[in-house]
Structure 1
Amino acid sequence: MSLRYAVLTLLDIEPGSGYDLKRRFERSVSHFWSASHQQMYRELHKLYDEGLLDCEEQPQEGKPDKKVYSLTEKGRAELCDWVTQPAAPQKIREPFLVRLFAGHHLSQEELREALNDQLRRHHGLLENYREQNERVLKSAPALQERYWLAHQTLLLGIEAEKTWIRWAEKMLSQLEQKHGETN
């Protein structure tokens, strides 16, 4: 998958500016896809140049005009074509795991700190996802129904974070046991 389809999907739900899109991205697909602000704007411009998006400029007082993007019929057709294609499972692409793979170069303390850092990060992500989940559960039933599939991806993100946390805690426990045996 590419950022292209994440952008098309978000604009299919609701038109918006680059800023709106980035905020929506952070509150939704960011738990399984990442993109910087610059990448998002580059992709918007590329999709617009390809005729997949319309752009309406809305005047703002004291600011540059706001560009609001929406899907064209061509954009919607590409999204519909893409969504019907089978998706192959992706392998995990996690920089920390590469570091851990070479972890024999770390001291016990450095390894423990790296694992604790990952634990803090994943606890933070889990908390963020749980807060998003609470907002979804408090939303109107019609909205919950409309975004049911999107909500399922959030629930998977929650489970993935729980798994990371269990794994890191187990690693720390094993590290303590192993370190205790060697002393």
Structure 2
Amino acid sequence: MKFENVVLGVLAMKPFHGYELMKWFDVEGQFIRSNTHHSQIYRELARMVKNGLVEFEIDARDGKPDAKVYRITEMGRQVLMEWVRSPYEPTSRFQDADFNTRFTFAVALDLEAALRVVETELTYRRAQVAKSRVRKRGLVGVQPIDGFDAERYLRYGEQMHYFGADSVDRWMDWLETMRTMITTELESRDAATDTDTDTEEHTA
């Protein structure tokens, strides 16, 4: 996931001062991208301005340093939409940052794209669970070094496995809920569009 995609998604909400953008990454953005340093944000903004994805205007302030207000350009919007609609490839670890980021912005920009992301993730997790739940767990044919407690490793490893299995099951339940919500909204939207079309035809 490119950092520019996250920045473009944030700027799609509204223009941001650089300081506001830093605060966003410190609060809401920490769940999408961790440990984003302020210098990274300004370097990325400068690069994106140079590439025509973002533009800024000067906000003059009495008695304070002038501030730049950044906004997404038409080219930036196109790049953002290309990313939102591009094929999503799940990783082995669920709740990956790429899913969270893409889903967060896709539901606001393109509901059909959000549905594809959810369905791709759900299909992948189902296959992953079907394959991994039946695997044999344990230590076979190993020769641990002195101080490596194999019994304790297995005992606590089982607890991690149970927690992980429960977590991914809950994750799939949530994905099912999202799919239902999105599908229902799309169907309602399509039904409203059909009604509007019929009304226009009768009026004509």
TM-score by length of 2: 0.44
Q: Which has the higher contact order (CA 8 A, sep 6+)?
A: 1
Structure number with the higher helix fraction is 1
Query: Rg: which structure is higher?
Result: 2
TM-score by length of 1: 0.49
